[in-house]
Amino acid sequence: MGVAQALYTGVTGLSVNADGMSVIANNIANANARGFKRDRAEFEDLLSLSLSSGSGPAQIGRGSRLAAVKTMHTQGGLTVTDNLTDIAIQGMGFFILSHPGADAQETAGKLYTRAGSLQFDKDGYFSTASGARVQGYMANDDGVLTSRLSDIRIETNNVPPKATKTLNMNVQLDSRSDVLEAPFDVGNPVKTSNFSTSMTIFDSHGRAHQATIFFRKISASEQGVDWEWHATVDGKEVVDPGDTELKEFANGVTRFDKNGLLLEEITNESSVSFSNGAFPEQAINFDFGRNTGEEGGKGINASTSIAGKSGTIFHQQDGYEAGQLKSLEIGLDGMVTGVFTNGIEKVLSGIALATFSNQDSLLKAGKNMFYSSIESGPPNIGLPETGTRGALYSSSLEESNVDLANEFVKMITTQRMFQANSRSITTTDTMIEEVINLKR
């Protein structure tokens, strides 16, 4: 090997350390970039030159070269913000973006990022500042997520009214009450019943109506207690009011066993036609809890009839009035829930995350975004907190994972290595000069 070869070996050292300094400079430049992942320059030696020596074959290195620039996908720190649509990923995963300007052939139409500074654009799409749209699963009218990955778009500014279809009620009826012989009279309900309770129900237009249910004890024996119930509304609010102030629209019987537990529920009639154009003959299912008969209940969270004061323990119905979207909530599981002015909370969409078998082989696309490669493998897409995917924290952002102290130490060592390689070149030059001077 000639002396001059040492010059080229030194040049390779200068080249790789210059590349290493470029990587360090890029890390420092992006130290404040949200979701940025630092790079690490990795070097390798060049093919050695084989020589013959007195003790056998010998190899002399011919310098070094840049082997790879590896992206370090370690977790960055989380910073709390006051913006709901700032979202940080705690754990593994990337947001999936669909950018109208992306090269579909190169990126398969999808980009991936950890930078969660998101917003809703003028068309309601959940997107980045550059216009890339966040991908997820939209919900149907019942709040159930679909299985098709698509742009997340919140366009539900209001929720239509819903008529009451089911009324759940958990009441305690005093078994010590007297059995009333006289039949129930809707014109004089108080004197022909033992207990009453009221609640609000809704028609198809979302108008609220006060429903009063009267309970009348009709029998008591060693087998248990039977109660008759009658549901009424204001007669002025229905199509066929009749001659009394209240209009009965539903009635039935609840039977309790000798232990006071709900045994059977019987509904004889349930149909009401509210006025002002509401849907006619609205049927409401009255449910007093899971009975011990056909439903196989154990008496838990169901109506009872024991020696205790009558009262309403719990009641709930599924109707509501129309409401406007008031605010959004984003959960750890990626569910985007709309909170409406009528008190309804409805799932609108779910934010999807992607993981990769080899995330180190993702390629950078700029703007803190990546795209997949053959080496990274295809994305594994799903909801947060499923599989190996992490959780989402709203009103938070993930900081860069650049450690400035570590980068400055690398800068010092790289500078010294560059300086040392320059010395090998100048020293080799001096040696060549001595060879030239041999002729003198």
Contact 225, 175 (CB under 8 A): yes
Give the Cα-Cα-Cα angle 112, 117, 118 (nearest 5 degrees).
Answer: 80
CB neighbour list of residue 24: distance below 8 Å, 6 or more residues apart: 41, 407, 410, 411, 414
CA distances (Å), origin 31, targets 28, 74, 87, 219, 294:
5, 14, 19, 80, 66
d(CA 227, CA 217): 4
What interhelical angle do 5-29 and 404-436 show, nearest 10? 160
CA dihedral 347, 351, 357, 359 (to 10 degrees): -160
CB neighbour list of residue 383: distance below 8 Å, 6 or more residues apart: 137, 333, 334, 350, 351, 352, 353, 389
> Given the structure tokens 């009658």, which residue do they identify?
230
DSSP letter assigned to residue 435:
H
d(CA 343, CA 335): 18
Tell me the pLDDT of the chain (440 aa) as tens digits: 567 778 888 888 888 999 999 999 999 999 999 999 999 998 888 876 655 555 656 677 788 888 889 999 999 999 999 999 999 999 999 999 987 665 554 556 789 999 999 999 988 999 998 889 999 999 988 889 999 999 999 877 788 899 999 999 999 999 999 999 899 999 999 999 999 999 999 999 999 999 999 999 999 988 899 999 999 999 999 998 888 899 999 999 999 999 999 999 999 999 999 999 999 999 999 999 999 988 888 888 899 999 999 999 999 999 999 999 899 999 999 999 999 998 889 999 999 999 999 999 999 888 889 989 899 999 999 999 999 999 999 999 999 999 999 999 999 999 999 999 888 888 888 888 888 888 76
How is the chain split into domains, by residue range? 5-73+401-439, 80-159+325-353+383-398, 166-317
d(CA 132, CA 100): 7
Contact 402, 28 (CB under 8 A): yes
d(CA 73, CA 158): 41
Q: Is the pTM of this model over 0.85?
A: no
d(CA 228, CA 69): 79
CATH hierarchy code of domain 166-317: 2.60.98.20
DSSP letter assigned to residue 387:
T
Instruction: Give the SS3 label for residue 77.
Output: coil
Contact 195, 177 (CB under 8 A): yes
Q: Which residues is 335 bridged to in the sheet?
A: 350
